[in-house]
Copies of this chain bind each other. A is one copy, B any other.
């Protein structure tokens, strides 16, 4: 015994959402059908509109339905640094951390030849053009500290090197508030290599 065909379709479709298995899909579908049809209808409309209209900022490739994203439009931010990130989620994490006042460039992925993701998919030509035009003081390569993120950072560094702009990478080290006992050995040895003079 199953639900009616249309309810089954809804259960199936809900599973495109990350972290939603059969059980959660059922709870969500029944919640919408039994208790919040209005909210569900609004969600379906907003979802269709967002998926149709949200594209990339023409300058930094951040997600936006406008031509320029809100960060690129903000006049008070510095044009002197561009921070290259893999995803809009990474950009938001940096914004939430606070402190960074420059611009961004979003790759929407990392180099992954096996998956057929090359430089053109990451908009690296657009990045080079942007750096050439705006001539910032520094480009921060804030791709993830993973094999693919490292490889992407190296590739971008090679591409931008002729422009003679300062390139940097986020510091590696032990995370704040952690216990050394639980830090993996790779991180720990990078933290040793990158140790800094102690100052009060």
Contacts and interface: CB of A to CB of B under 8 A. Distances in A.
Interface of A: 1-7, 9-10, 13-14, 16-19, 24, 26-34, 36-37, 39-54, 63-66, 69-71, 87-89, 92, 95, 108
Contacts of A47: 10, 13, 32, 40-41, 43-44, 47
Contact of A42 (B13, B41, B88): B13
Given A13-B47, A16-B40, A63 B32 contact: no
Given A33-B54, A39-B16, A51-B32, A46 B87 contact: no
A160 B71 CA distance: 66
Report copies per complex.
Answer: 2
A77 to B, nearest CB: 10
A71 B47 CA distance: 33
13 contacts: A1-B92, A4-B54, A4-B63, A4-B65, A6-B54, A9-B50, A16-B32, A16-B42, A26-B89, A30-B89, A32-B51, A44-B51, A47-B47
A50 B33 contact: yes
Contacts of A51: 32-33, 37, 40-41, 44
A47 B37 CA distance: 10
